Structure formats: structure tokens, C-alpha cells
Structure 1
Amino acid sequence: MTGSDRPEPHDEPDRPDHSGRPDPTDGTAPRIPLPRSSVEDTGQSLPAPPPAPAPLVLEHRVLKSLLGAWALAACSAEEATAVEEHLGDCGPCAEEALRLRDAVGLLHPEESLDLDPGLRTRVLESCLGRRPPRIPVPEWAVPYDAETARLDALLQDIGDAEWHAPVRLRWFDDDGPVSRKTTVAGVISHLLAVDGMVGLALGLDDPLGPDVRVPQDPAHRTEAYWRASHFPPTRAVRAPWREQTHELIRTVSFTAGGASRASGSGPGSGSGGSGRLPVPYGTVAASDRSGRQRTIELPLRDSMVDRAFECWIHAGDIADAVDYPYAPPAPRHLHRMIDLAARLLPGTLAERRRSGLATPSRRLVTAGAPGRSLRLEIEGLGGGEWLIPLDSPAATGSREHEVAHVALDGVEFCRLAAGHVSPEEAAAGQDGDREAIRDVLFAAASLSRM
């Protein structure tokens, strides 16, 4: 094609625009319209606003029926305006509206449909406190009954994976902390094995089996159970542990009830032989390095409180591992645990003194005679005061010979006795003989064991 044959630019055919609007090159209309001028710039009057809607005219009975919807902010704008204008003229309706608004304020906001984690515990505590059992449980076994029920409720609420959450068992040995790593299932296995020592004293089957021969102390029994069971333990351990706790409660209830009827004492008091039944906790080497073995025993009534104490402490360990709220025991149960620890302190202190871990006694006293004393004051619910003899377990405490005073919160003292708080870290108010205070605090920590 020659240059004379090329069409002029204005002769080009119209090409369609993809927007559907004319091409801006054809001179017909701009592709983007020019901005419009404001009506204020033209000098013209502004358009009149739309007429306001006529207010609703409602009868008194209708307005009164709308008060509930108005309190809940469920009325339309016109209805709300009519109600509010009416409230300015009608005193009875204004008072009713005020009461309804207060009632709406008491309604709970929308919450998760998941149950409150503490609900099960509160229900159990209410049931245990209100419904007396058909066969009375001895008073000294009630804390164990309550703490095992609380722990079982916690185990019911955790998931399968949480049974393998890591837990560190902690206790105090001589002058330093000791720990052992395990899982939630491992902790329940530990409780099952040690509770079995009480069961053996009552004539029940050993959870370790009839063929297992290990030293009868908590640490060796626990290690033996861990070796003989699934490793690591699984949630399957919950069923035998729960069945053993129920069997222990049934056995001591029937035994104590029979002993009480035979002795003529009150039901479940355990004042007969059943509460004094010795429960061996194994043998240890004598502290005088003579090579002899010393048997550790607790009467059944104290052993059940000891098992309740350990159940609570380890339940707290599990709750911390799975991030679950867990409250201390009931005050009356906490008091029994503190009382047991306070009564064990003189013997533990004497044992540490024979081992060279405490300062020697400054006085030689005979059995029943008063000696130096430390006043242990436990504050808070479940607390009280105990006079701890310092010179001999056979001595009696007296205020006339008080040389020191220690004040501790009840839960803090229990954590110290469980080996979860070191004697140096225990938040204690102290006054008097510093050596005596140190010896007693270290003796409290030495009460702990695996």
C-alpha cells in the first residue's frame, strides 16, 4: 500500500471500548465526566429535608406491654420514642421500666457452652457435705475419701493426651531437694502403689501382684510398679487406682464400725482397735550407724490422713501440669493434715539430730517432763497452734519453756512438709532462737518423701 492510499486519522473506523462507552478520540464525550459543581456554589436553595415521620400514638396498655422489649433494647426506633415519651408522663410505668432495666443488668452475658472446670468439684463437695453415707466413714478417713474423689473428678476432665503430660515429683532428702520426672499416669501409678501398703495392712490384695517381692517402702514399690506395668503408664491405671480407693474406704468403714459397736463408742469414731492398726512404711538403716534396721510405722488413722495429704499434693502437681484450677482441701481436712505433720515433727527432729543434721539438744529431759518448746502458729483456715518439743520426742511442750515462735500460712506449711518449698524459701514469721527455728523448718521439709 502506498502512502496516498492510507486513510486519514479521522477516517479510522470507530473501535469499540471494552467499557461500552464511546471512544474519547471521536470527539463526542469525555471518557471520565467532569466533576459537578456543588449546589452551594450555584446560589440555588438547598432541597427541603424529608418530612419527619409522625410519632406513634399508642394506647397505655400497648405502651405498658412494650416495657419489657424496651428494657431489652428490642423495640423499633418509633416504638422506643413513644415509650420514652410516655415514661415522662406516667409514674407507674416509669417505676416498672426502672425495675426491668435493673433485672436486665443481672442477666449473664453470653458465655462458652463448656462447663466450668470447678463445677464437678463444687458438686462433689456439696454432696459429701450434705448426704450422710449409709455406712459411716470414720472421721480420720473422711479426708482421704474427699481428696480421692476430687482427684478422680480432675482425671475425668482431662483428655487422653494430657495423661502423658510431664510431671516432676519433688521431695526433700536430708538437706536438699530431690525430684523425679514422670507423667500424669505415672503419678497415679505412684499413688496406687503406695496406697497399696495401707491395703496390705488391711488384708487387701497387693496392686503389685502376689509374686512381686520388693522392699515395702514407697520409693521401691513405685519403681517396681513402673517396671511391671506399661511403660510409660497410660490412663488405664485410673480404673485400678479408683477401685482400690473405694475398697480402702469400704474396708475401714466396716472395720471401724464393727470396732465402735464392740467398744460402745459412737459410730465411725474409730476409737477401737482399727484406728490403731499399724501400717508399715518400710525399714531404714538406724541413724546411729550400728547397721540395724528401723521400721517406720503409722497407725491406720494417721496413715489415712497421710494418704489424703499426698493425694492432694500430687493432685496439685497434676493440675499444674494440665493447667487446671485446683483448690486446697476443706478447712477441717486441712487441719487434720497439719496436725499430723506437727505431731511427727519431734520424732523427725530427733532423727535428724542423731544423724548430725540438726544442732544437739541443750537439755536432757525425761519422758513427760517439760523441755524447750517452739510455738508453731499456723494461720488461715484449718490452722491453730502447736507446741513442738525441741529436746526429746518424749518431752512435753510448755509455754513456760518456749524459746521460739514460727508463724506460717496453712497451705505454705503443707507445701513445706511436702518438699515443694525449701526451708529457706518458706514465708515464715520468726521470733526467738534461730537455731531452733532452722531445725524445725528443716525437720518439716524432711517429712516429705517420694
Structure 2
Amino acid sequence: MPGVPFGLPRIPAPRSAAEDHGPLPDVAPAPGPVSGPTRTGFGHAPALPSGSPPEPAPAPLPFPVPGTPAGSAAPPHRVLKSLLGAWALAACSAEETALVEAHLTDCASCADEALRLRDAVGLLHPADSLDLDPLLRSRVLAGCLGRRPARIPVPEWATPYDAETAKLDALLRDMGQAEWRAPVRLRWFEGDRPVERETTVAGVIGHLTAVDGMVAASLGLADPLGAVPPDNRGPTVRTEAFWRTAHGEHRPSAAHGPWREQSHTLIRTASFGGAQVAETAVPYGHFGLPVRDAFLDRAFECWVHAGDIADAVDYPYEPPVSGHLHRLVDLAARLLPRALAHRRRAGLASPPRRLVEAGTPGRTLHLEVEGNGGGDWFIALDSPAALGTRELTVAHIALDSAEFCQLAAGHVAPDEAAAGQHGEREAIREVLFAAASLSRL
């Protein structure tokens, strides 16, 4: 560093100020005769102690400095002080940096100011990410409701849908226009084989809008497809019809607003209706669900497809919280006997075993879901009952909650599910394939 002996710090510790030996260059001198230019400006030179040798004249600057003529002495104190902010931000040129740092070795007040500015600049660069946590809205709402409950709270069976749509909304708000056209691969099972369909982020949101519209129509709200014939109510057919409309499968971010407004309307309607709408039937093509289960189904699909979108745009995405995940796993477990019966009617599973005598409980399979949101369920194998009993348990399957949800979403093949298995192999295979058949477009 120019003018600084080797080994000294760039900003030395405080010491006696330069003004202790005379006025600073930008301080007006006392009135008196002018004898020509001096080291400290125009006016009287400072008195030197008796017997002290005269100070040598400063060498001309080897480079130009803004506001200073070429070849002149170091710029005045006020000029160097005005450069401290730019120096702290590393915005000075190499020449200005050298002059400022040389000045800091001679001026204690500027050295102190430089330290304060450098610390302030450090506060302008936080180490943490500025991305909002997708769960921030849920935590804020939980904190607010914990202090004063809402006059009309969201029903418990609708809270997973509320949370998952809020998370997906946060993800969509954080995306750029180009990312709306990013390719997204949708996967599900039909029969015994996996099926794939490639669409875009906008196409996925259109799919969610079309299928959510089934719940909206059942609650007396506007259907995004308009007047839909009775034989056109299945999720797949509705989605294809929606993609063929003016909305389009590849329409960019304009798909976001209608989907979010529809989800808000569904949550408001469920909150105001409460128990009166909980059992309203929602047709899903060849089967139906009450509104309370339809909201869980929509929450599950919103989470799964939000994960598909997050993978497509390389964005981190978290699973539902434990209480919500348990509700979603419980819905899938309760639907397994119905799915198994549907596969039998289609000739994809062996027929149920006849009971020896009337009143004898049928066989059951113990489904153990481990981890966050897990639990134990006993699946009826010989009747379409929602749940069986423990008396004739013939098989046991153990899966992680995330693995079970990926199986039910059609993202994991039944033969590849990482499951602990014990008991009748045929019963285990049929339940695993029934779980995969819960998936759909």
C-alpha cells in the first residue's frame, strides 16, 4: 500500500489526529498576510518546533484523481472523506482506494468512520436466503388464531386443502414467466401399467382447476367448464376438455388467478357451510366422495402436483405437516377396499374368498405406515367395507409414509415399493396394486 510500511494494518488503531499539528487543509486559516502556497493550503504554514528540520514537499501524484489536477499533491481531507462511503462498498477505483487507505493511516477520525461504514456494509448482505418459507402463511395464521379464534373457523377436514393450496400459491408467485412453460411429467397407474403425460406448469394448474371444479359444482358454485354433461364428470375427461378450451394447456401465468380464486371460494364455502355441507356427495365418475373426503383428495393431489412442478423448476418443496399428512394417509387407506373391489370387477384381481358361515369376519391385511403422519389400518380383503377387524389378519405390510403416498400417487411401481412384507403373498400384491390404482390424471 503506498505510503504505508510493510506489516502495518490497512486501518491502524486510533492514534493522535493530524489536526494536533496544525489546521486541516479544508479549515480556513486565521486572517493574516498570505505568503504563498504551503503544505496545508493557502496561508500561513504551521509553526515548526525550534531546531526541527523542514518537512520535504510531497511528491506529485503518479495518477489522476477526480477533482485533483494531474501531478498535484494528495487531495484535501474533505475529498478523501467524501470517498469513504464508496471505499466501504468497494466502489472506488484502484487509485482512489490507494489514496483513501493511505489517508486512513494519518487521520484517526476518518479511520473510525471507515470502520463504522465497513460494519454497516456487512449488514447489507445477510447470509440467509430471502425466499419466503412456504409454511410462513400457515404459521402466521396459526399464531393469530391461537390468540383470538376466528369467528367462522375453517373446518378441520378442510385445513389440509387450505394449507396445501397456500403452499402451491407461494411457489407459483415465486416463478418467472418462462418457468410457466417448463415441461412437467405427470405419472399415474392405469390397470397394471404406469402411464405418463407431459404438460407444462400452466397445464398442471389447469388440471387442478378442472378437477376442483367438481367440488365447486357440488357446492352450487360456478363450474370452470360451464355446463358439463352428466357423462363428462370424470377427472380425466374434464381435464382434457379444459385443456381444449380457450384456457389452453400451455397458457402461461394467467392460469394462476382463476385457480387461486376458486380455491379461496371453496374454503369460504366450506367454512360457512360447516357440518351442513360435509356430507354432500361429489361425483368422481365411477365413484363418489362426501365433501369432507373430497377436500382431502384435493389436498393430496395439490401436494403431489406441486411436487411435480417443484421438480420441474428445481425448487425445494416440503410435505404436509404431520397432522395433515395423517389425514391424507387415512383417506387412502379407507379407499383401498373400494379400489380392490373395482379391480376385481375389471378382472385385475382374484375374487374374494367365500366366508365359511354367515357372520364370520373376512380376511384383513395389516397396513402399517411408519414415520411422520403414519398409523395402523386393517384393510378388508373380502368385502368393500371401509375397515376390517384384527381377527383374521393374514398379511402385514410396513411402508414409510412418504413411500406410501408416492405409491398412492402412482409415482412408485407396486413391485418396487420398499415395503416390509409378511403373510399371504397374493393379498399383499393385490393391496399394493390397489393402492397404485388410487392414482389418476
Q: TM-score w.r.t. structure 2 length? A: 0.69
Q: Among residues 146, 150, 156, which one is paired with 2:173 in the alignment?
A: 156
Q: Mark the CA change 1:365 to 1:383 in structure 2 (over 3 Å): closer, same or farther.
A: farther
Matched, 1:437 2:440: no
Deviations 1:86-113 (A, max 9, x none): xxxxxxxxxxxxxxxxxx9xx9996568
Partner residue in 1 for 2:189: 172
Q: Tell me the secondary structure at the aligned position of residue 310 of structure 2.
A: helix
Q: Deviations over 1:151-197 (max 9, x none)?
A: 00000001100000000111101100011110000000000000000
Q: What are the superposed Cα offsets for residues 406-432 of structure 1, whole Å, 9 maximum, x if unpaired? A: 000111101100101110111111111
Partner of 1:243: 261
Instruction: Give, as a single letter, the amino acid of the residue that structure 2 aligns with 1:439.
Output: E
Tell me, in whole angstroms, the C-alpha distance in 2 between the residues paired with 1:403 and 1:108. Answer: 64
**1:367, 1:394 within 8 Å by CA — same for their partners in 2?**
no
2:251 alignment partner in structure 1: 233
- Name the residue aligned to 1:188: 205
CA distance 1:210–1:398, shift in 2 (3 Å)? closer
SS in 2 for 1:407: strand
User: Which residue does 1:131 correspond to in 2?
Assistant: 144
1:315 aligns with 2:306: yes
Cα deviation code 1:63-99 (max 9, x no counterpart): xxxxxxxxxxxxx9xxxxxxxxxxxxxxxxxxxxxxx
Q: Provide the residue aligned with 1:380 in structure 2.
A: 371
1:208 is displaced (CA, Å) by: 1.5
The answer to whether the Cα contact below 8 Å between 2:365 and 2:381 also exists between their aligned partners in 1 is yes
Alignment partner, residue 253 of structure 1: 271
Counterpart in the other structure of 2:98? none
Aligned ranges 1:344-383 → 2 under 5 Å:
344-364=335-355, 369-383=360-374
Say if 1:383 and 1:366 are closer, same or farther in 2 by CA, change over 3 A: farther
Partners of 2:244 and 2:415 in 1: CA distance:
36
Shift of residue 395, structure 1, vs aligned partner: 8.0
- Counterparts of 2:358 and 2:293 in 1: how far apart (Å)? 23
1:359 positional shift: 2.1
Q: Which amino acid aligns with 2:307?
A: G
Name the structure 2 match of 1:330.
Answer: 321
Cα distance, 1:229 vs structure 2? 2.4
Gaps (5+ residues) in structure 1? 1-49, 59-75, 77-103, 257-269, 284-295
Which residue number corresponds to residue 426 of structure 1? 417
Cα drift, residue 396 of structure 1 = 5.5
The 3 A distance-change label for structure 1 pair 236 and 109 is: closer
Aligned to 2:234: 217
SS in 2 for 1:282: coil
Q: Which moved more, 1:159-168 or 1:131-140?
A: 131-140
* One-letter code aligned to 1:275: A
User: Is the partner of 2:199 in helix, strand or coil?
Assistant: strand
Task: Return the index of the structure with the highest Cα Rg.
Answer: 1
Point out the more displaced range, 209-218 or 165-174. 209-218
Deviation at 1:274, TM superposition (A): 1.7
How big is the shift at 1:351? 1.6
Q: Secondary structure at the match of 1:338?
A: helix
* Partner of residue 130 from structure 2, selected from 105, 115, 125: 115
Partner secondary structure for residue 333 of structure 1: helix
Paired residues of 2:335 and 2:386 also in contact (CA < 8 A): no
**CA separation in 1, counterparts of 2:431 and 2:289?**
21
Return the alpha-carbon distance in structure 1 between the equivalents of residues 358 and 208 of structure 2.
37
Q: CA RMSD in A?
A: 2.9
Shift of 1:369: 4.7
Residue of structure 2 in register with 1:276 after alignment: 279
**Residue range with higher mean Cα deviation, 362-371 or 154-163:** 362-371
Q: Mark the CA change 1:219 to 1:401 in structure 2 (over 3 Å): closer, same or farther.
A: same
- Is contact 2:338–2:386 with CA below 8 Å preserved after alignment? no
Task: Decide whether aligned partners of structure 1 residues 252 and 366 sit closer, same or farther in structure 2, where only a CA change above 3 A counts.
Answer: farther
CA separation in 2, counterparts of 1:420 and 1:57? 66
Equivalent position of 1:201 in the other structure: 218
Give the superposition deviation at 1:366: 8.3
TM-superposed CA distance for 1:244, in Å, is: 0.2
Aligned letter for 1:243? E
Aligned mates of 1:143, 1:371 — CA distance in 2: 33
Aligned residues: 326
Secondary structure, aligned partner of 1:169:
strand
Distance 1:396 1:160 in 2: 47
Other-structure match for 1:67 = none
* Cα distance between partner residues in 2 of 1:234 and 1:367: 59
Could you tell me which residue of structure 1 aligns to residue 48 of structure 2?
none
Change (3 A) 1:417 1:366: farther
Shift of 1:353: 1.8
Q: Cα offset for 1:234?
A: 1.6
Percentage of identical aligned residues:
63
Per-residue CA deviation, residues 321-354 of structure 1 (Å, 9 max, x unaligned), is 0000001001111000000010010111112122
Cα distance change of structure 1 residues 238 and 445 upon mapping to structure 2, 3 Å threshold: same
Would the aligned equivalents of 1:145 and 1:249 in 2 still touch at CA under 8 Å?
A: yes
The CA deviation string for residues 380-414 of structure 1, in whole angstroms up to 9 with x for no partner, is 01100000011111385222311111000111101
Residue matched to 1:417: 408
**What secondary structure sits across from 1:143 in the alignment?**
helix
Q: Find the aligned partners of 1:235 and 1:365 in 2 and give their Cα distance.
A: 60
Question: 3-state DSSP class of the match of 1:131?
Answer: helix
Change over 3 Å in CA distance of 1:213–1:297 after alignment to 2: closer
